[in-house]
Homo-oligomer: A and B are copies of this chain.
Amino acid sequence: MKKSLISLIVLPLFLSSYGGMWEPYQIPSLKKELRDAGFYKNVNSISSPFEYPMNAIVSLGYCSAAFISPEGLIATNYHCVERDFIQPNSSAENDLFEKGFIARSKSEEIQAAPGQKIYVTLESTDITSEILEGTTDDTDSVERFKIIENNSKAIIKNCETSDEIECRVRSFFSGETYKLEKVLQLKDARLVYAPPAHVGEYGGEIDNWMYPRHTGDFALVRAYVGKDGSSKEYAEDNVPYSSESFLKVSAKGVEEGDFVMVLGYPGRTNRLLTFNQREYDLSVGFKNYVNFLESRINLINTHTNDEDGSSLAYRGAKSGAENYYKKISGQIQGAKNFNVLQRERENWAQFQKYVTANASSADKAYLNELLAIVDKDIANTESNRYFGGSTLIDFAYYLMRNAEERMKEDDQRKSGFQERDQSNIKNRIKYLNNSFNIRVDKELFLANLATYRTFSNELRRPVYSELLSLDNSSEDTLEQVNTIYSTSYSTPESMLQLYDMSFEEISKLDDPLISFVVSIYDENRDNEELREKSSARKQLLRSKFIKLLRSYYQSIDKQIYADANSTLRVTFGNVMGSTLRDAVYYHPFTKLEGILEKNTGVEPFNISKSLETLIKSKDYGPYASKELGSVPVNFLSDLDITNGNSGSATINNNFELVGLAFDGMLETIISDYSFIPEARTISVDSRYLLWTLDKVENAENLLEEIEIVN
């Protein structure tokens, strides 16, 4: 087994069949690779999303999770329950972040934030031909866009037969394939167990994306339904959902070299790009983006303060920018360290050779057209980055655009503006109460304009540029912006008034913001149509590209998998350590004593005195790894995950839960963009979860409910 592991490392990148976020149906064709990795069961046993163990896997919308009891008990990450399970149940007097939470019986389980759902995938159907029905390769792109959108809306409408069901059209391979995902929404989700933050997010931002890691990133929730078994909103007399399929939890765990799989819902990757896009991203684009983020962070720091609450309002925007800053910086570093551009260049050259020798002249023309469109997009990337950036203007335009769509019949509207979307639009406005400050917004906008004005005329929008005096002095621009920002529609309340107006009513308003939006309206709409047209064309061109790519990989006996798109995927591999720097080896397991080593008493390294004492007592129970001589806390594997996989079940050959995936390593985060075999997944070990439930929490009720395998 070890030998096959090592061989992974010398394989070429660029859609290597290793790594891989596979759709379950692809699993049987990966038999050899699975056997090499040490999987010894029938490969067909993991090929259906609707059979055990796959159907034990659920989604929280933004995170993955898994049933671990027949009564709807679900294991996921601590960081997946913070916002919607812990926060709404916390107060200054009863701070569940500080204290943690454990329900000693089902009656003590507490309600999640309204709107929180558990999603169980019921069906997944290939609907490519239905989505493309009415189009040919020669259909005009504007028309093509409309047809696809209308087909999609119709399919969803037909599918959503009850309010228990949500249906989603998912594009695979940039629209080469479409699938309809039919999902059961369980609307009553309750918190069962969350450790205190000093365990659940031990290491905080400092350890984020880092290994060695010692985070107890686990939590338990439960799905409830109505007494009749149907999906219902929270009600006191709801009953636990009967989860026929669930994972047993291993108290034995895994050891170095063992086979593991992760089942979950990865959100988004970008591994199927053309080389011109990669060349731009890796030599220019990432760096520019990082600079942009850095200036955003600095601007927010400069222009916000505690006194007027603006610091708080922009905390989310700032931490988002910081998070991306860290991630993209890590990707830049990783691309350099792992020589990604050069390797992608070589792989692309191989692909080009194949195309030259084997593709039809039509397919070659399609490919060339795609490359040209990508080149054009690249040429506009930088100026687009600095276009707009005024939340005030964006919302005014958005509401006017919504008003335009609302003049149409519901099924004729653009998606995003249908009746089903309206409550969401209003919520977005209300959310501005916590995330918007007009003074700061203006400063951010002015900073964008200062850069936007430096682009040549052909890269800028003419009406927008003229109205904002971008060819005149900065003082003139400032004057225009001040005028726009003197609007009467700068608060969420006044925006809700706009929301209620018709398109005509808005158009007639005598207000500097609205006048500006009216003036740029046609230019924006023209751009929207251009984007749609381009998008429809790219859907066609990328489909052709993917077919070429697939046949190229078939020619070298490999298969490809679609970029992550929040659908159920499988990744498999082995528990293994990591050597990323000369002479430094990361062992695949961390242990309880490592928690003490990092403990400074200061957040984010501040475990409780009682936990410290407990660890020092070495009362490991049956949860210690013999090899390690302690209870494993987190472990590394070479599995292939990304955002959205948080909370995914890490399982062994017997489909027992051995961990919950919760992070990657910054050094190899470039893997989201271009898979590298050095990438590692960090899981929290099932033995640490069980040790905590047993020794720390004395949670007998839960330990009895969970089927523990010794």
Are B597 and A212 within 8 A (Cβ)?
no
Residues of B contacting A10 in the complex (Cβ-Cβ under 8 angstroms): none
Task: Confirm or deny: A179 has a beta carbon within 8 angstroms of a beta carbon on chain B.
Answer: no
- The answer to whether A214 touches B597 (Cβ under 8 A) is no
Of the listed stretches A55-63, A64-72, A504-512, A585-593, name the one at the interface; the rest are far from the partner chain: A585-593
Which residues of chain A from 446 to 494 have any CB-CB distance to chain B below 8 Å in the complex?
A: none
In the complex, whether A209 has a CB less than 8 A from a CB of chain B is no
Contacts of A584 in B (CB 8 A): 212, 584-587
Q: Knowing A337-B597, A597-B337 are in contact, say whether A214-B582 is a contact too (CB < 8 A).
A: yes
User: Of all chain B residues, which has the CB nearest A593?
Assistant: B582
Taking the nearest CB of chain B, how far is it from the CB of A656, in angstroms? Answer: 24
Q: CB < 8 Å: which of B581, B588, B597 contacts A597?
A: B581
Check: A362 CB closer than 8 A to any chain B CB: no
Q: Which residues of B contact A337 (CB under 8 A)?
A: 597
Q: How far is the CA of A597 from the CA of B588 in the complex (A)?
A: 23
Distance between Cα atoms of A337 and B596 in the complex (Å): 10
Contacts of A211 in B (CB 8 A): 583
**Interface size, chain A (Cβ < 8 Å):** 18
CA distance A76 to B589 in the complex (A): 41
Q: Is A594 an interface residue (CB 8 A)?
A: yes
Number of copies of chain A assembled together: 2
Contact yes or no, B587 A585, CB < 8 A = yes
Q: A592: nearest residue on chain B (CB-CB)?
A: B582
Give the CA-CA distance A591 to B581 in the complex, in Å. Answer: 11
Q: How far is the CB of A455 from chain B (nearest CB, A)?
A: 31
* Complex Cα spacing A587 to B588, Å: 16
> Please, which residues of chain B bring their CB within 8 A of the CB of A582?
212, 214, 590-591, 593-594, 597
Contact string against B for A residues 553-587, beta-carbon threshold 8 Å, 1 for contact and 0 otherwise: 00000000000000000000000000001111111
Distance in angstroms between the alpha carbons of A191 and B583 in the assembled complex: 33
**Could you tell me the dominant secondary structure of chain A's interface residues?**
mixed
| CB-based contact B581/A212 at 8 Å | yes
The verdict on A212 contacting B583 (CB below 8 Å), with A337-B597, A597-B337 known, is yes
A588 to B214, CA, bound (A): 26
Most buried by B among A211, A212, A337, A584: A584
CA distance A67 to B307 in the complex (A): 71
B contact residues around A214 at 8 Å (CB): 582
Greatest chain B CB density within 10 A among A581, A588, A589, A593 is at A581
- Within 8 Å CB of A586, what residues of B? 583-585
Which residue of B is nearest A337, CB measured?
Answer: B597
Contacts of A588 in B (CB 8 A): 583
Within 580-635 of A, Cβ neighbours of B (below 8 Å) are at 581-591, 593-594, 597
Q: Which residue of chain B has its CB nearest to the CB of A630?
A: B582
Residues of B within 8 A of A583 (CB): 211-212, 586-591, 594
Identity of the chain B residue whose Cβ is nearest the Cβ of A588 in the assembled complex: B583
In the assembled complex, which residues on chain B have CB atoms less than 8 Å from the CB atom of A593? 582
Give the shortest distance, in Å, between A605 (CB) and chain B (any CB).
13
A462 to nearest B CB, angstroms?
43
How far apart are the CA atoms of A581 and B214 in the complex, in Å?
12
Chain B residues closer than 8 Å to A585, beta-carbon distance: 584-587
Report the bound CA distance from A587 to B581 in whole Å: 11
**C-alpha spacing A588/B337, complex, angstroms:** 23
A589 surroundings in chain B (CB, below 8 A): 583
Chain B residue numbers with a CB within 8 Å of A591 are 582-583
CB distance from A388 to the nearest CB of B (A): 36
A-B pairs with the 3 shortest C-beta distances? A582-B594, A212-B583, A583-B587
| Chain A contact residues, CB within 8 Å of chain B | 211-212, 214, 337, 581-591, 593-594, 597
Known: A582-B591, A583-B588, A585-B585. 14 other contacts (CB 8 A): A212-B584, A337-B597, A582-B590, A582-B593, A582-B594, A582-B597, A583-B587, A583-B589, A583-B594, A584-B584, A584-B585, A584-B586, A585-B586, A585-B587
Can you give 24 contacting A-B residue pairs, CB < 8 Å? A211-B583, A212-B581, A212-B582, A212-B583, A212-B584, A214-B582, A337-B597, A581-B594, A581-B597, A582-B590, A582-B591, A582-B593, A582-B594, A583-B586, A583-B588, A583-B589, A583-B590, A583-B591, A584-B584, A584-B585, A584-B587, A585-B585, A585-B586, A585-B587
